[in-house]
Amino acid sequence: MAAETTGAGIGRAPSSRGSLLAAKPKSADDSRAKTAEKSPKDEPVGEHPFPKHYQAPSLDGGVGWINTAGPIDLKQLRGKFVILDFWTYCCINCMHVLPQLKKLEHAYPNEIVVIGVHSAKFATEQDSKNIEEAVLRYEIEHPVLNDAQHKIWDKYEVTSWPTLCVIDPEGNLIARNGGEIDFELLDRFFKKAMLYYRRKGLLDTTPLRFELAAFQVPTTPLRFPGKILADEKTDRLYIADSNHNRVVVARFDGTLVETIGSGQAGATDGSFAKASFDHPQGMALAGDILYVADTENHLLRKVDLKKKQVHTLAGTGKQGHGWPGMEEVAGGLVARKASWTGKPLKTALNSPWALTLHGHDLFIAMAGLHQIWKMSLAKGDIGPVAGNGREDIVDGPQLPSQPYEEGYSSFAQPSGLSTDGAWLYVADSEGSSIRAVPLDPSSPVRTVIGTSHLPGGRLFTFGDVDGQGRKVLLQHALEVLYHDGLLYVADTYNNKIKVIDLRQRTCQTLAGTGNAGGKDEPAAFHEPAGLAHANGKLYVADTNNHLIRTIDLKHGNKVATLEIVGLAPPEAPKIDAKPSFPDAAQVDLAAATLKSTDGKVRLQVALELPAGYKINPLAPLRYLVEASEKDGPISREALGKLTEVEEKSAKFDIDLPTSAANGSDQLKISLAYYYCQTGAEGVCKAANVIWNLPLSLSDAGQTSVQLPFKVR
């Protein structure tokens, strides 16, 4: 969201690419920035790699936590690197950073903790419930703090989305980055930084666990459906089942026809069952060919509905940055003409979000580059046709003569497309505007409803106001649909469907109370993002409700919910790996002789937790019992199964059924447990212990044996 910054101070180009910079102290007093001390053994550890570090401000000031059982204090994370990701869930650049952070979290699960600091742009984004839905939609695996009032944003002197702030294991702010950043740069940064802290013994690699919202979410047939397409001729609905990574095909009555894609995130071509997508969005249909914007793969896919095959049509699979066709020469960028076109499979795309067809031209809302692109299906080339690449709401000539040249049309994360055959209509989401791009390239872009007339603050002017002309306000509209002289709009953050009369330049609410909900009467939606029309009905992808809704335009705009009969979520991938207990403490117990009572022997687990700690009641407590003898006295049915303890406690019993009253065996009892400080449940430590127990059964034995362990 480069155009929405107030000055990041690092000279970012409109592509919103950033670079990791060392933090600077807030004052000229560098007394807080001392060079490295000697290790206890007086071994040289080198200069402090970040001499201008200073104590990171606290996280006080937020209004709620997501993906954690309780608030988190940075002091609880001493010994870890902490990345604060300042983001807002509407922001395409923030979306691009999230998968890079996920790769980093998986690469350094015990050294790095990411905390999202959600500092909202839109009013709707201030609500913790809406943020939680975004956390689930983006499949975020780290804690997120709702910084609704921008108090933490101000403490850390953040000026743009996204911004990363890095805190070291001693609690010092050591670096920051404004703009997008990739895993490779982050990886190099932390590989170097960790050397110093490891040598000083400051790195704590104890595994942590956070109570993710995803742990509590039930499965649904659709998962955050994005765009939807209707074809009256074939009685077909095509639904981008985005978070199930597939396209669902159904009839208008809700009968399931088929699904396209395995349901697993990927970019595999092939049959419907084997092909894979990554959070697909917009679609367009030409006969038996369905075109799909495979958004998070940065690809366009071609689906042959007759042959039931999926092929990659455009994109390299890597996110494109900057103006297409720019070349790097001697460390600088040399731009080709703005009207550059390239070969589809050799041209990197950037979050294609919506598609529409006009003749043999496939138009693309390239959300990540703030442009409208076109792929000529006849000529086989692709490139931008409108937008100077600056994130803004500006009318004017469609394409500049030079990249980023001012005085030409600007878009802000275009996310919806439709056409009447003469104009392209664009849902320009970050500017809460509806734009019109003439198919005649010599004519200028204009704004139908929106903020282009304002001298400033065009990306920050939004609301929920019906009426005429410049009085109308929308809030992050993600979809526009032309039908019979009217434009239907998914006014996403207002939870409404609206209709624009192009002649009168009026905009009125068609359905929706404005409050998030899923009822048909009174009609309520929750961040709808897709629209289609067929047979007098609007079909709505009601994204956060995981539903398809209908609006009957012929009968008083009555709203109903469409049930897709027979649709189920994709099967989860099978995991055959044996349960593991990494870095488990080993406890060798003295041989014990037990007596089988009622066909069972009892093992008594007794964990001694540090003062002030408890077993986390929300986390799983699981054990696995194994035996070395094939024909030992413990029943084989009790062995090799990962078992969860229902009553979470530091002390519990394991009753093992026996197959004989006498005999001996060598038991291995593995336990995975999670513990946290009482009253500070936000940070939960993960640990494993394995008891090795030589066991004999005899009528003269004791009734139970204790499995003790002192947690340190």
Whole-angstrom CA distances from 146 to 150, 259, 566, 611 are: 9, 37, 38, 31
- For the residues 412-417, what does the mean pLDDT come to? 98
Note whether residue 258 is domain-resident.
yes
pLDDT value of residue 19: 60
CATH number at residue 26: 3.40.30.10
At 133-176, the pLDDT tens digits run 999 999 999 999 999 999 999 999 999 999 999 999 999 999 99
For the chain, what is the radius of gyration of the CA atoms?
Answer: 29
712 pLDDT above the threshold of 90: no
Burial class (CB in 10 A: 0-12, 13-18, 19+), 457: exposed
pLDDT value of residue 10: 23
Of the three residues 562, 594, 627, the one that is the final residue of a domain is 562
Instruction: Kindly state whether residues 668 and 555 are assigned to the same domain.
Output: no
Note whether residue 334 is domain-resident.
no
Note whether residue 332 is domain-resident.
no
11 pLDDT above the threshold of 60: no
Instruction: Kindly state whether residues 54 and 131 are assigned to the same domain.
Output: yes
* DSSP string across 184-243: HHHHHHHHHHHHHHHHTT------EE---GGGGPPP-SS-S---EEEETTTTEEEEEEGG
Note whether residue 246 is domain-resident.
yes
d(CA 495, CA 477): 10
Note whether residue 573 is domain-resident.
no
Instruction: Kindly state whether residues 661 and 610 are assigned to the same domain.
Output: yes
Give the pTM: 0.91
12 pLDDT above the threshold of 70: no
Answer for the pair 113, 168: CB distance below 8 angstroms, yes or no.
no
Of the three residues 531, 562, 593, the one that is the final residue of a domain is 562
Number of domains within the chain: 3
Q: Provide the β-strand partners of residue 541.
A: 530, 548
187 pLDDT above the threshold of 50: yes
Neighbours of 644 (CB within 10 A): 10
Instruction: Kindly state whether residues 599 and 637 are assigned to the same domain.
Output: yes
* Structural domain containing residue 701: 585-710
Instruction: Kindly state whether residues 57 and 114 are assigned to the same domain.
Output: yes
pLDDT value of residue 33: 30
CATH number at residue 541: 2.120.10.30
CATH number at residue 689: 2.60.40
Q: Percentage of the chain surpassing pLDDT 70?
A: 92
Whole-angstrom CA distances from 190 to 127, 161, 194, 652, 655 are: 33, 22, 6, 41, 46
Q: Are strands 361-366 and 371-376 parallel, antiparallel or unpaired?
A: antiparallel
27 pLDDT above the threshold of 70: no
Cis amide prior to 522 (ω within 30 degrees):
yes
d(CA 77, CA 185): 23
At 677-686, the pLDDT tens digits run 888 888 999 9
Residues 6+ apart with CB under 8 A from 38: 44, 45
Q: Provide the β-strand partners of residue 416.
A: 427
Answer for the pair 403, 389: CB distance below 8 angstroms, yes or no.
yes
Burial class (CB in 10 A: 0-12, 13-18, 19+), 106: exposed
Of the three residues 216, 242, 273, the one that is the final residue of a domain is 216
Burial class (CB in 10 A: 0-12, 13-18, 19+), 64: middle
Instruction: Kindly state whether residues 211 and 84 are assigned to the same domain.
Output: yes
Give me the chain's average pLDDT, please: 91
Instruction: Kindly state whether residues 634 and 506 are assigned to the same domain.
Output: no
At 534-556, the pLDDT tens digits run 999 999 999 999 999 999 999 99
CA terminus-to-terminus distance, the chain:
46
331 pLDDT above the threshold of 90: no
Instruction: Kindly state whether residues 238 and 211 are assigned to the same domain.
Output: no
At residue 609 the predicted structure's pLDDT band, cuts being 50, 70 and 90, is very high
pLDDT value of residue 576: 67
Instruction: Kindly state whether residues 47 and 92 are assigned to the same domain.
Output: yes
More confident residue, 21 or 482: 482
Instruction: Kindly state whether residues 545 and 622 are assigned to the same domain.
Output: no
Note whether residue 336 is domain-resident.
no
Amino acid occupying residue 585: A
Burial class (CB in 10 A: 0-12, 13-18, 19+), 27: exposed
Q: 3-state SS of 231-272?
A: ECCCCEEEEEEHHHCEEEEECCCCEEEEEECCCCCCCCCEEC
Residues 6+ apart with CB under 8 A from 191: none
Answer for the pair 493, 501: CB distance below 8 angstroms, yes or no.
no
More confident residue, 356 or 22: 356
Note whether residue 328 is domain-resident.
no
Instruction: Kindly state whether residues 558 and 607 are assigned to the same domain.
Output: no
Note whether residue 578 is domain-resident.
no
- For the residues 53-77, what does the mean pLDDT come to? 95
pLDDT value of residue 111: 97
Instruction: Kindly state whether residues 117 and 254 are assigned to the same domain.
Output: no
